[in-house]
Structure 1
Amino acid sequence: MKLKSHTYHRWLLAAYNEFALYGPHFSLKALAEKTSLPRATLYYHFSDKNHLIEELLDLHLQIANDFQSDLKKQVSRLIPDLYTIMFQYKGSVQFHQQLLKNNQLEGFAALYQSINNSSIRILLPHIKEHFKTKLPDHEITEFYATLTDAWYARLSFNNISAESMCQLALEIMQYTLGLCVQSEELVALKS
């Protein structure tokens, strides 16, 4: 198996950052200018832009696994711990947002949802504690997935901080908490 070169990693990391900013429509010409590498070397490592994007999605999954490992180790309370960690991964959060924005493209929605679902499973005890809910796990997971989508849809990277990420989450939770309470009231009525 051929080891990946330093040039490969420079292209990949630069493309990851470009994708985070512009989505899959980033410019290869601009990417070449930012890396100060001859554009021909891009094609030595990647057959075309689609191949590069496939590699970016694989890289994002690897980074998401690291993020989830940090969630397991560092979250003791949903808020603010989750957003403190997310801020440490802000470039990846921005990349992840692009997956949602471009979810009509093949593989983007599936990767976005898969990563979110894995993260929510890790966070489930903290979510239950935060909302003080006894809803079934599948309902909490669906509810929190909706919150997550709303959060990514509204997240702005102008003047981003852990505090602004947390504030946005609290704002969205405040507006959607009624959905969770109504659902819990329905469960109580059925009992």
Structure 2
Amino acid sequence: MAKAKNATIWTEAGYELFAREGFEAIQIEKLARLLQLNKSGFYHYFGDLEVFLDELLRLHRQKANHYLADIREVKTIDPEYFQIVVKHKVPVMFHMHLFRTKNKPEFTALAQTIDEEEEIIMGELWTAYLGFKGSSEAAIRYFNLVRDMINARMSFQNLDVEFLRVGVTEAKLIIQNLALIHAEAETGQMQF
């Protein structure tokens, strides 16, 4: 039991560090300094960095499951979904860094799996939020674009409800303007 608790100290610290700074920050000496522990403890619990990274992925899967469970309860994008994202800031940032780590296919694979699960949960809510009357498939593709746009702009410092509100509102206005242009073109009332 004590061994598991001590290993957890390392994985939680590594998880937070990865969320804040990305893959390149995961260095045994850096973790040992942060925890004020001897790096021999790291080797005792994990053996090497690859085993540790596997533990971080396992931990992320657990935290992502909690995040997904919370968004299943959401009834509105603004503010409920935004609040859940902020509540799960560390896993959300960890997830973003999984995609940014290009040389680790297992990172990308886990991130894609979790994103697909989120898409299923968010489908109806996002479609309704945009006011789409037709295809929820198109709405989900747009959700992915918006999520990617927000991820590109997001940092540990700026991830809050207002940041999400601005980004998503901007995306919603774009799609509404495109729908209006399309409707005007269909009725022949478009003016140039």
Q: Give TM class, smaller chain.
A: 0.7 to 0.9
Q: Using the alignment, how far apart are the partners of 2:171 and 2:98 within structure 1? A: 20
Seen in structure 2, the aligned counterparts of structure 1 residues 57 and 33 have a Cα distance that, compared at 3 Å, is: same
What letter matches 2:118 in structure 1? S
* Corresponding residue of 2:11: 12
Asked if the contact 2:68/2:118 (under 8 Å) is kept, the reply is: yes
Structure 2 length-normalised TM: 0.84
Helix, strand or coil at the partner of 2:44: helix
Seen in structure 2, the aligned counterparts of structure 1 residues 108 and 172 have a Cα distance that, compared at 3 Å, is: farther
What letter matches 1:126 in structure 2? L
Seen in structure 2, the aligned counterparts of structure 1 residues 5 and 152 have a Cα distance that, compared at 3 Å, is: same
Tell me how far 1:60 sits from its aligned partner: 0.7
Is residue 66 of structure 1 aligned with residue 55 of structure 2? Answer: no
Alignment of 1:41-190 (within 5 A): 41-73=41-73, 75-175=74-174, 177=175, 181=179
Q: Using the alignment, how far apart are the partners of 2:104 and 2:178 within structure 1? A: 31
Asked if the contact 2:119/2:140 (under 8 Å) is kept, the reply is: yes
Structure 2: runs of 5 or more not aligned: 187-192
* Corresponding residue of 2:20: 21
Cα RMSD for the two superposed structures: 2.4
Higher Cα radius of gyration: 2
Structure 1 length-normalised TM: 0.84
Tell me how far 1:168 sits from its aligned partner: 2.3
Tell me how far 1:18 sits from its aligned partner: 1.0
Q: Using the alignment, how far apart are the partners of 2:94 and 2:62 within structure 1? A: 13
Tell me how far 1:3 sits from its aligned partner: 8.4
Which whole-Å deviations, capped at 9, do the CAs of 1:79-132 have from their partners, x for residues lacking one?
Answer: 221110111111111111111211442212222221111112111111111011
Tell me how far 1:17 sits from its aligned partner: 0.8
Asked if the contact 2:19/2:97 (under 8 Å) is kept, the reply is: yes
Seen in structure 2, the aligned counterparts of structure 1 residues 107 and 131 have a Cα distance that, compared at 3 Å, is: same
* Corresponding residue of 2:35: 35
Q: Using the alignment, how far apart are the partners of 1:68 and 1:19 within structure 2? A: 20
Q: Using the alignment, how far apart are the partners of 2:91 and 2:124 within structure 1? A: 24
Tell me how far 1:178 sits from its aligned partner: 6.3
Structure 1: runs of 5 or more not aligned: none
Helix, strand or coil at the partner of 1:158: coil
Q: Using the alignment, how far apart are the partners of 2:24 and 2:44 within structure 1? A: 21
Asked if the contact 1:143/1:180 (under 8 Å) is kept, the reply is: no
